C-alpha cells in the first residue's frame, strides 16, 4: 500500500501523519488517544496537554509490555504443548507397531496350533454314563434331633 497523509485532531491540535496504514485505522487510533488524554485533563485540571500525553503514553507502554509478556507466556505454553503432542504422537506410533507385532505373533501361533495334531488329554478320566445313586435320607431315632430340626 503506498504511503499517504492523514490529518489527525488530538486535544485541539492538528497533526498530519504520513502512513502506509488506512486512514480509518489511523483516525481510530487518534480518537482513542484524544479520549484518553481528555480523561486525564478532566481528572487533573492543572495538567498540561504535554503531561497528559506523557501519562497516556506511559499507560500505553505499560499495556504493551504486559501484552508482550503475556504473548511470551502463551508462546512458551504453546511450545510445551507442541512438545507434549510430539511425544504422544511418537508413543502412539510405537504402540501401533507393538500392536501390529503382537497381532502377527498371535496369527502365527494360531496357524502353528492349527497345524498340530490333536493331543491326548493329560489325565485319562473316563466319562460317566451312569447317574450317581441317590443318597438315602437317614431319619433320626426317636428323641434324637436331626439336621432339619435346627
| pLDDT tens digit at each of 150 positions of the chain | 679 999 999 999 999 999 999 999 999 999 999 999 999 999 998 999 999 999 999 999 999 999 999 999 999 999 999 999 999 999 999 999 999 999 999 998 988 887 777 666 667 666 666 666 665 666 656 555 555 554
> How many angstroms separate the most distant Cα atoms in the chain?
127
DSSP class of residue 125 equals: -
Contact by Cβ (8 Å): 26, 17: yes
Q: What pLDDT is recorded for position 114?
A: 79
Residue 134 DSSP SS3: coil
Query: What are 131's three cell numbers?
Result: 447317574
Q: What pLDDT is recorded for position 118?
A: 67
Q: What pLDDT is recorded for position 135?
A: 59
Task: For residues 118 and 67, give the distance between their C-alpha atoms in angstroms, rounded to a whole number.
Answer: 76
Length of the chain: 150
Amino acid at each position: 500500500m503506498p504511503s499517504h497523509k492523514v490529518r489527525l485532531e488530538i486535544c485541539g491540535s492538528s497533526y498530519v501523519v504520513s502512513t502506509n496504514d488506512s486512514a480509518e485505522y489511523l483516525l481510530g487510533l487518534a480518537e482513542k488517544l484524544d479520549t484518553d488524554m481528555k480523561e486525564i485533563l478532566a481528572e487533573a485540571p492543572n495538567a498540561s496537554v504535554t503531561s497528559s500525553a506523557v501519562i497516556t503514553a506511559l499507560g500505553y507502554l505499560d499495556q504493551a509490555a504486559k501484552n508482550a509478556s503475556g504473548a511470551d507466556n502463551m508462546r512458551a505454553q504453546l511450545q510445551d504443548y507442541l512438545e507434549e503432542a510430539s511425544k504422544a504422537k511418537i508413543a502412539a506410533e510405537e504402540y501401533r507397531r507393538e500392536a501390529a507385532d503382537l497381532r502377527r505373533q498371535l496369527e502365527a501361533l494360531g496357524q502353528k496350533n492349527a497345524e498340530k495334531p490333536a493331543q491326548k488329554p493329560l489325565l485319562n478320566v473316563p466319562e460317566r454314563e451312569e447317574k450317581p445313586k441317590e443318597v438315602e435320607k437317614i431319619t433320626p431315632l426317636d428323641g434324637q434331633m436331626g439336621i432339619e430340626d435346627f
